[in-house]
Chain A
Amino acid sequence: MRPLTQEETNTFFEKLSKYIGENIKLLIDRQDGSYCFRLHKERVYYMSEEQLKIGSSAAGETLLSIGSCFGKFTKSGKFHLHVTALDYLAPYAKHKVWLKPSAEQQFLYGHHIMKSGLGRLTEDTEQYQGVIVYNMNDLPLGFGVAAKSTQACRNCDPMTLVVFHQADTGQYIRDEDTLT
């Protein structure tokens, strides 16, 4: 377990900022205590200082998870967000997508979102902007990337993909063994 390097933080924050923009600051600079990101087994965990203290006593190999996992660095150095980060992304989300009840299940099974399943959509969403996916009751279901800008969404076919699936809460069941 170690803090992120400059490079890593850069990539990590770049990824995060696609979803929550400058709200990352709220994650770093919290009023209710000091929190930090830690890299462990190529995964980035977000934890409080207390947790860090406790976790630092554990041996590296034995430590499965600490705090909440935000995602992992791939071998090529990219960063992938995990569903477990949803709890932190959702409240700060800049761009949101609301799913119709009919499309909810599809999304939760890991499918992309078609326009027909789109209930609402934040205006001014650009293409490839990270979006948080909610159902109509404002329950965060997951997140993804906007395949089309809002303007393009207006005119496009109902069967066109609007949001690329990245992570959804269904993964807690599907990827139970790999999620940390």
Chain B
Amino acid sequence: MMSEILSKRLYIGGLSESVSESELLERFSRFGNVSDVSLKTRVDENGAPLKSFAHLNLQSDEASIKKCFNTYQNAKWKGSVMKLQYAKESILERLQKEREENALAEAKLSKPQAEKSSTPEIVTTAKGVPGTPVPGKKDWVVGKYGRAVPVMKLKKSYKVPMVKHDPSKYCHTAKVFKDEVQDSTLGNSCTKLTWEINKPDSEITKKRKGEYPENSQPLKKKTVGSLDSGGKSEKNSLFSFSEDLKNKQKAFLPSHRDDDLEFVKIGAVTKRPRVLSSADTSNKFDSDIESEPEAMSPSVAKQKNSVTGPLGKPKTSKEPSESGPKKSQQIQTKPTEPENGRKDLSKSLTTKQNQANDSFSYNRLGIPEFKGLSMLAGLVQPTAVSENKGTDKIVSTKLAQVSTSEEEKPKLAKASLPNGHFNSKLRSSNKKSLEPDANSFTESSIIANRVQDITIATPAPFSSRGEDYSFKTSTPNVPSEPVNKDTTQMSDESKSFKLIPEFKGLGMLSDYKVDDNKKSSDLKSPQKLESDTAIIESVSQSKESPLLSGIKLQQQQENPKTLKSPKDIRLSLNNKENSKKRKVPTGRGDQASNSDSDSSANTDEIIVRHKKQKTSDSVVLSKPEPVVAQSEIKSKGEVSVDRNSVMSEFISGVDEFDACPSAAPARKVSEDDSYDSDLDSNDFALVAKKLRQKAFLSKQGGVQKLNSNDKKRKDSSTQREPLSSARETKELAKSHMTDLQSKLVKIAGTEKEPTGESGNVKQEKIKHLSEKEKHKAANEKRLEAVKQQAKQRQQQQQLMQQALRSVDSQENNKKRIVFDSSDDDNENEDRPKDNVPLATEKISNPAEGKNQEISGPSLFASSDDDESDEDNFDEMFKSKPQFEGKKGEKLLKLENRIADKRFTLDAKFADSDSDEEEDNDKDQAEASDASEDAGRDTKVSADADLTSKLKEEKSSNLKVLEDVVGKSTLDRFSDKISRNTKKIIDMNSVRFDPTKMNVSSAPPKTKKKKEKAEKVAAPPAASKEQQGETPESKDVKKEKKKSKKTEDGEVAEVATPNKVDSDEDPSKDEAESKDKSTKQKEEKSVSKIDDPDSKKKTNVELSSTLLDMFKTKAEQKEDKGATFSLTQQFGEADSDEDSVEQDGEDRAKGSGLSQVEKDKSMTKSAAETKRDAVSEKKKNEEGEEKDAVGRDQEMPSDSDLSSDEGEKEEDVEESKKSTSSSKVKPRNGIDDDLQEAGKLDIRFTSEKWLEQWDALRQNIIKIYKKKHKDALKKKRIHGETKRKKEFLKNSRKPGKKQGAFKKR
């Protein structure tokens, strides 16, 4: 029992209130050591103790404690049952205990830490597999690298209370930074960690900026993607920033489209202010995008050019693309290199060409290549090809391609033509091709080399010229021409010669003339050895031609070049565009000498012509003369030959000059005699001299004619038939013709063939001449006939018109069909009285039937029948006429027997009774009239009703509108409308309405406008029919006046020259005659004359004053009768003007002033009209006389009439001109008065006027000044108003409605 002492805290409950601590102590002390007794009593609200309990510590052994429990448990003490329990330790004790424990724990904790640091665990655990727990410690595991890592327990959320985080499981993701790497990353600045993509156009950047290609992806996707990318930033960044980002991402489309959107003020439609809704950056971006491709495109184009330039050409010319760059190199380097290019070409060509030709062609073709200029290549190639006589179609196709390639260049459009020629030439040459010799090959190769040498130099000038393609194209033609000739002519030598001109041509361009000459001379020597004299001749000539051109070129003339070359081409090509009287077909003339001689002949001929007459054609070509001389001098050995040839050529030229096919004879001569031409040429020379003399003599007379003849022949030479030439030579004198014929005959004598030909030609010519005349006559006749026909037609038309008019008028007066709305049965009641609708009466009255047919209401005849029957009710019971008499009885019987309605016998079988009809008609007419009236009344009333109804409706509508829109706005609006009425005219509704003829009812214009309109063009209606004769006379006077006004001299001119201007009658008569002869014209003139003179009041005043002044004088003058009184004129004129004024303003009314003036002039005009009539008669006679004279003068034919008329018209027009010229002035307004004064001035050239002048002058000056002032004022006012308007426009804000109106 005593073995173990326990200290237990006991709870003792159920104690009575009276128990004290000492008592407790006393009682429990028997079981052990009692200490720390605490007694507590529970007290109720009143303070009476309810319960009490105690705690105490008991120190004793277990047995005594048990004893204690046994004895006191449920024992009664002082009236209450005790309860014993073990209790927790007292708070104080526990606290103390805790503190002690804490201290102890601290001591413990510090102990293991110290242990760790001192003895590294790592070592111990290093061998462990990662994840294995550290043996000594809880929640510690071995990490990846053998370290002990604590397992962490985290409280994450409500659902999962604890999460265990084992670092050993995640340690694989950890990254170990080695020392060096760390250093590098740390050493670099942070800015290097971020980067930008500089490319502005990369797709990514675009997308980042929010721009997507329109059709690339659906929009939703994009937005999502962009959002995703921006999601993080959104979270991190400030709110505003994120919003911006959002906007950007969402509004990628608007960012560049927004700026397109414009907001227009309501009023300002025209100004269209631009309101940019989005940032400028997007705008800039746009511009960048736009500008970049622009910038790109040229560069790309350049690249393309640079690529295609060299490559495109070769393609077309079938050259390998590699040669492109090579060429350029070759140009700079050496002539030996081009072999590469040649080889390339050779590959393409080898299959289809002979070997000899091949090598040759390679050389030749190499040259153009080597030149490197595609242009040149294209042009020289043909020449080279032409040398290869055996060339195939491929070559031709090549050429074609070249030509096409050249055509591609707009500048070289001309070049294509010659190429075409080339092609044709080449084909012909191919046909006639001769077999190439071995010599040709060698020679050609040598020459080719030389050409190469030259060509090395040539590119430079070519390139320098750059744009002179046309020139270049023309130049190669020159060389090619002789080439062709030669090819056609001879085999070996020709080739060498071809080349000479060729490089002369090139030399000309590069100014290598001297070298060329040398070379040509060099070449000559070997050729001389081989060839005949003839060939030499040809050589020299061939040399000449290029020289000529070369010298020309030196003289820096491109024109002769171009002129020459085509000429030559034509020569070689014959016919087609054979302008220079060339009728030599190369097909026939196979000889180069011939062709050359032809060309030289041409020049000679031109020279001759130039000597004789310096025509424009020959001016350019005349220059070769000295050149020829030069060439002659150069080729000393062949001078004579040259001359001979020249002579022969001259002859031929002369022959040609005479428009004979002498070219053919000349050619033939040369052919026949081949190349022992000395004799022949001498002969020719003699003949030529003769001819020259003769020609000179003959031509001196008809040089001009010949010239014209030549020219014409030139034109016609394209058609070789004599027909055309004959047509043009119609004017040639016959003597001339004979001369020419004789000449020709002479030539024919010397020559062999041509006589027959020429004779034939001549005959043909003559024939054609006659034919021509015939043709002409026929043509004239035809024209006449046509004119007559036209006249007849006109007359017929007029007749028809008249007839129709009369008919129309009748019908209009009498017949009218009105479909009355009131009558539903479509009764046609309004028939003319004389027109009887009865069908029974139709045939009996044929005339009426006709009328009916014309009038056309027979449509409703049947219905009318019924009606008429009703009307003639009485008649029903009358015995019908057909049944009267014996016959009638029979008829009746018959009818009754048949009893078929179809066979009833009607009025057709009996005569009609006209009286009854008439009666009927009358009745009908009356009835119809009545009904019509009634209908009209109803119509009118209905109309009135309708309009009134409409008005009501409108007012009601307006009321409704007021409700809808608001009264105030509507009022404002209506005010505005009233102000801007003119502006608001619905153009949709402005149409010509034929039902409304009152055009004048258009909104009244301002006075200014009116005046203007009058000035600009008085309506033709304004030239109203003035009463009787007076208008004409007035017009006449007016015209006369004006013509006088212009100038006396002119008037004199217009008038017959023998009459004096002071004499007024003749001029007037003349004018009148004009008027009479052409009435229509006159009317026009009336309108013309009248229209501008819309008088202002001032004018009227002036005229009135003047009138007063001259009245008296006029009265004096009136006695003289025949003489024309000024006042009359003047008064008349005034009245005329006034009438015009009336026209302009109102026809019906006459302005008071004008009326007064008219009254004044009335007295005179009355007398005047008589005189006028007389004078008109006179004038008519005169006119007729004139006409007669005209007829006499002209050819007597019907056409003359028309021509005469034409003359008259001209006259009239002249007068009009004069009038119009005078008219121009009065339009100026201010000058009007001066004009007035001028009128007076002219009219009063006599002394009387001079007397009056001073008085008048003041008046005029005053008026003038006033006008001037007015005009100035007007100007100022106008300017001011304009400015005001503008200001208002600018200052006015939206101006909503106005804009809408302006638009309209």
Contacts and interface: CB of A to CB of B under 8 A. Distances in A.
Contacts of B943: 53
A154 B277 contact: yes
A120 B259 CA distance: 10
Which of under 10, 10 to 19, 20 to 34, or 35 or more describes the interface residues of A?
Answer: 35 or more
A21 B272 contact: no
B988 interface: yes
A148 to B, nearest CB: 12
B990 interface: yes
A61 interface: no
A14 B264 CA distance: 25
Given A9-B960, A24-B965, A25-B961, A158 B251 contact: yes
Interface in B254-273: 254, 257-258, 260-266, 269, 272
Contacts of B253: 116, 158-159
A93 interface: yes
Interface in B388-439: none
B947 A34 contact: yes
Contact of A36 (B219, B257, B954, B1303): B954
A71 B987 CA distance: 22
B953 A94 contact: no
Given A26-B984, A36-B954, A92-B1300, A100 B260 contact: yes
A160 to B, nearest CB: 10
A157 interface: yes
A48 B334 CA distance: 92
A91 B985 CA distance: 11
B986 A22 contact: no
A32 B995 contact: no
B977 interface: yes
Contacts of A108: none
A6 B960 contact: yes
Contact of A10 (B219, B258, B963, B1297): B963
Contacts, number: 142
B958 interface: yes
B251 A49 contact: no
B262 A119 contact: yes
Given A9-B956, A115-B254, A91 B986 contact: yes
Q: Quick one: which of A33, A57, A116, A123 has the most chain B CB within 10 A?
A: A123
A28 to B, nearest CB: 5
Given A9-B956, A22-B965, A120-B272, A57 B985 contact: no
A25 B977 contact: yes
A52 B260 contact: no
Contact of A121 (B257, B261, B986, B1300): B261
Given A116-B253, A157-B254, A50 B261 contact: no
A22 B960 contact: no
B1197 interface: no
B1178 to A, nearest CB: 55
A91 B1304 contact: yes
B254 A23 contact: no
Interface in B976-1001: 977, 981, 984-986, 988-990, 995
B782 interface: no
A13 B961 contact: yes
Nearest to B981: A31
Interface string A74-110: 0000000000000100011111101010000000000
B266 A24 contact: no
B261 A120 contact: yes
Contacts of A98: 262, 264
A29 interface: yes
Contacts of A49: 946-947, 950
A17 interface: yes
B941 to A, nearest CB: 13
Contacts of B272: 120
Contact of B950 (A24, A34, A57): A34
A103 B956 CA distance: 42
A100 to B, nearest CB: 7
B1300 A3 contact: no
B970 interface: yes
Contacts of B965: 13, 17, 21-22, 24
B961 A22 contact: yes
Nearest to A93: B1300
A26 B1301 CA distance: 11
Contacts of B257: 116, 158
B266 A95 contact: yes
A79 to B, nearest CB: 12
A37 interface: yes
Given A6-B960, A120-B272, A123-B264, A22 B1300 contact: no
Contacts of A138: 269
Given A3-B953, A30-B986, A124-B266, A17 B964 contact: yes
Interface string A145-168: 000001001110111000000000
A65 interface: no
Contacts of A32: 985-986, 989-990
Contacts of A154: 261, 263, 277
Given A9-B960, A25-B974, A158-B253, A153 B261 contact: yes
Given A10-B964, A32-B990, A53-B946, A119 B261 contact: yes
A118 interface: yes
A36 B266 CA distance: 28
Contacts of B821: 57
A144 B277 CA distance: 23
A91 B983 CA distance: 12
Given A17-B961, A25-B974, A34-B954, 16 more contacts: A3-B953, A9-B960, A10-B963, A13-B961, A23-B1297, A28-B954, A29-B954, A30-B989, A31-B1003, A33-B989, A53-B943, A100-B260, A122-B266, A124-B266, A157-B250, A157-B254
16 contacts: A13-B957, A13-B960, A17-B964, A22-B973, A24-B965, A28-B957, A30-B986, A32-B990, A94-B1296, A96-B264, A116-B253, A119-B261, A121-B264, A123-B266, A124-B1294, A159-B253
* Across the A-B interface, the 6 shortest Cβ-Cβ residue pairs: A120-B262, A22-B973, A158-B254, A158-B253, A13-B964, A9-B960
